[in-house]
Structure 1
Amino acid sequence: MTLLMGAISFPFTQLLFSDLPGQIAAAAVFGSIALVVQFLIDFEHRLGRVEDGLQAAVKQIRETVQQGFARVNDATELVARMETAGVQSVAVTKLVSRAAAISPHASALVRNFVHLEVDRVSELLRGLTVNEATYDGEDQDWLLNLTKCVTSSIDAISIPEVDAAGNTYHSFWASPMGVRYLDTQRASGSRGVRIRRVFVTTHDNVGTDSVLHSICQSQVDSGIEVRLLYPSAVPPEIRGQITDFILFDDEICYESHPAPHVDRGAAPMILSNHLELRHDRLQDRIDRYRIIWESASPWDQLVAPERVLTAVPDES
């Protein structure tokens, strides 16, 4: 480009200078000027490209920072909402921290198991936001944890379809889960929690039922108020409405739904457990329990089996 401008300008230099050296020098000056102009033009283009790239980089950084702050704001808002709702943020932080500690090289089985457990907890929380939640199958954790968290009262109904096998309650209360549940209730009772339980019987004559007597005694020894509801004492307005449920602080109703047509003598099968928090349905359970409790008889009116056996020869 410089040589071209010098060659083009050389004929014009002849008009300015008569001697050849002057003409060559003038052509060189014109070429140099063209070189400087070309450099400035190229520099401007390059500077423009740098500015465009810098603006794009700044825009990307700004967007990244804004997204980061948005995530922080979302996390902060969630933590604030949890604390406002009375949920301990420390427990949630611990859950996230321990989930993040899972090795990226963990097996697919471990990762999938973690995902399922987190989803299970998430589904429970979603259910509590809409005032009901269901556990498919037989639950243990909900029952034990609610018993640990209760602050004032537990009102329970035990029916043979859920807690008994072959018309005897021994099957559940002698099981590992039954023993753990009774121990947890005993601990809650020691904190001042009032616990009441009604055992629904399949017939009125239970005076010789040594198993039921033993269970009632163990419940009373654990600080539980126990009553028995005989078939003849069921009020007409609740016939067919006696189900297995537990009221925790009159705020959550824990319900057990057994499978139908269980073979006689076989242990009950639980299809699902349900948490009910809806006000109208919760009030219905509270009213129903009050009627059942008032209709039931104190367990100490049950004649002890040994007294029945010793009374027979005295009457003969």
Structure 2
Amino acid sequence: MSGASLGAGQNGSVRQRLGIPKLFLKIVITASAAGAGFFVSMLLHGDNNNIWQWVASIVFGSATLIVQYLVDFGERLEVVEKSQRQHNDDMKQTLNNHHSEMREAVEKSFAKINEATELFSKVDGSVLRSEEVTRLVKAYTQVGDESPGIVKSFAEEELKRLAELMEDLISGRADSSFENHEWLIDLATCVKKTLYATSTTVDRDFWSSEPAKRYLSAQEKAIKTRGVEVRRLFLVDEPEQVTEALEQLCVRQRRYGIDARIGVQSQLDPGGTVMDFIIFDGELCYETRPDNHVRPDMTMLRMKQEHVEDRVNQFNELWAATEPEHEPEPEQGSVRRRLRRVAE
């Protein structure tokens, strides 16, 4: 059948090139076969039996015509079978691809569901307040659905910054490329036991700013409502830097319930320059680093136990080397010193 099909295919291509109609060609071939049958019968039987010559002619012509139609039918059947096989193969491939896509989609969906379930299980089991996390997620989805483009971009940046802060807190350290007053105020709001701080000339201008008022208010609330002990040591390099303004600053802070003192570093035991740092509950240290103009340009949070313990020991040494403030006595021609080195 394949040989016939091949031959038929070749004949068909020839016919197509010659532009000969298939029906006309069938008639020609049938007539030729009938004529050949008539001629052969005449040779075999002579001219005495004309009926057999016509019968042979009709038989040969009919057989030839039937064979041609059978060949055409075989070609068409083969084309149909080939098309059906191709269609079945395409359907199988499509179904396989669809099955793979559906399976992948279902696996991803279940993975997301499992991840979300695991995440919220951890949130529920965390010591942090889970309702705040749920509130954050709900608010973020609403911002994504209802807000304009600039708001969505801003929300994404803020969420990214929050995620980075959480990751930094896990590692035990977090940095901010500026003096982060919000961190400072939030920590003062969260402190429960102790707040020990040093204040050098680097952050002296801070105390006249608006964030300083909120910071002091948060400390006052912590002292009155939670019984937090707040100690602040204002440090200067030399006795001449103990000014009237600095003394008044200590007086104002004592009104908030803060134990404030002034220390002269050149007269204190711990050597070297002391940077500004604040220790919250003996667990976290907030530090600022000055720039070339002696102004804070970086905030650092440190939670490693060794680092915090070093800062606690440093503060205790500085604090022990000063004396509590007494009622000031009037002096003429000089600035009063409020703290002096403990006599060795």
Same-fold status (TM-score > 0.5): yes
Which residue identity is paired with 1:225?
A: D
Structure 1: 5+ residue runs without aligned partners? 1-6, 8-26, 164-170, 263-268
Could you tell me how far apart the structure 1 residues matched to 2:159 and 2:230 are? 32
Q: What does residue 106 of structure 1 align with?
A: 149
Could you tell me how far apart the structure 2 residues matched to 1:118 and 1:57 are? 37
Q: What does residue 193 of structure 1 align with?
A: 228
Which residue identity is paired with 1:244?
A: D
Which residue identity is paired with 2:317?
A: I
2:298 is the counterpart of 1:272: yes
After superposition, what is the alpha-carbon deviation per residue over 1:266-287, rounded to whole angstroms, capped at 9, x for unaligned?
A: xxx2110100112221111111
2:293 is the counterpart of 1:252: no
Matches of residues 174-193 of structure 1 in structure 2 within 5 Å?
A: 174-189=208-223, 190-193=225-228
Matches of residues 218-229 of structure 1 in structure 2 within 5 Å?
A: 218-229=252-263
After superposition, what is the alpha-carbon deviation per residue over 1:25-83, rounded to whole angstroms, capped at 9, x for unaligned?
A: xx9xx9xxx99999999778756654543343232212101101112222333333445
Could you tell me how far apart the structure 2 residues matched to 1:241 and 1:155 are? 18
Could you tell me how far apart the structure 2 residues matched to 1:146 and 1:198 are? 18
Q: What does residue 243 of structure 1 align with?
A: 275
Conserved? CA contact 1:155–1:247, under 8 Å: yes
Secondary structure of 1:228's match? strand
Which residue identity is paired with 2:195?
A: I
Secondary structure of 1:260's match? coil
Which residue identity is paired with 1:188?
A: A
Q: What does residue 297 of structure 1 align with?
A: 323
Give the C-alpha shift of residue 162 in structure 1: 1.9
Which residue identity is paired with 2:254?
A: V
Conserved? CA contact 1:252–1:277, under 8 Å: yes
Conserved? CA contact 2:237–2:266, under 8 Å: no
Q: What does residue 145 of structure 1 align with?
A: 186
- For residue 99 of structure 2, the aligned residue among 29, 38, 58 is 58
Could you tell me how far apart the structure 1 residues matched to 2:161 and 2:242 are? 45
After superposition, what is the alpha-carbon deviation per residue over 1:226-259, rounded to whole angstroms, capped at 9, x for unaligned?
A: 2221345410xx2214211000111110001122
Which residue identity is paired with 1:258?
A: P
Conserved? CA contact 2:233–2:261, under 8 Å: yes
Which residue identity is paired with 2:226?
A: R
After superposition, what is the alpha-carbon deviation per residue over 1:135-182, rounded to whole angstroms, capped at 9, x for unaligned?
A: 11121111011111112111111111222xxxxxxx332321111110
2:313 is the counterpart of 1:287: yes
Conserved? CA contact 1:199–1:229, under 8 Å: yes
Q: CA, structure 1 residues 94+279, in 2 after alignment: closer, same or farther (shift >3 Å)?
A: same
**Larger RCO of the pair (alpha carbons < 8 Å, separation 6+):** 1
Q: CA, structure 1 residues 309+291, in 2 after alignment: closer, same or farther (shift >3 Å)?
A: closer
Matches of residues 59-98 of structure 1 in structure 2 within 5 Å?
A: 59-98=100-139
RMSD (Å) for aligned C-alpha atoms:
3.9
- When Rg is computed on C-alpha atoms for both structures, the one with the higher figure is 2
Q: Which moved more, 1:47-56 or 1:113-122?
A: 47-56
Could you tell me how far apart the structure 1 residues matched to 2:242 and 2:128 are? 48
Which residue identity is paired with 1:245?
A: F
After superposition, what is the alpha-carbon deviation per residue over 1:166-216, rounded to whole angstroms, capped at 9, x for unaligned?
A: xxxxx332321111110011111122222111111344368872x333322
Q: What does residue 201 of structure 2 align with?
A: 160
Secondary structure of 1:308's match? coil
Conserved? CA contact 1:233–1:296, under 8 Å: no
Could you tell me how far apart the structure 2 residues matched to 1:290 and 1:234 are? 12
Secondary structure of 1:288's match? helix
Identity %: 27
Q: CA, structure 1 residues 145+39, in 2 after alignment: closer, same or farther (shift >3 Å)?
A: same
Could you tell me how far apart the structure 2 residues matched to 1:173 and 1:118 are? 31
Could you tell me how far apart the structure 2 residues matched to 1:207 and 1:277 are? 33
> TM-score with structure 2 length normalisation?
0.66
Q: What does residue 48 of structure 2 align with?
A: none
Could you tell me how far apart the structure 1 residues matched to 2:243 and 2:272 are? 27
Which residue identity is paired with 2:176?
A: Y
Which residue identity is paired with 1:146?
A: L
Conserved? CA contact 1:198–1:296, under 8 Å: no
Q: CA, structure 1 residues 71+260, in 2 after alignment: closer, same or farther (shift >3 Å)?
A: same
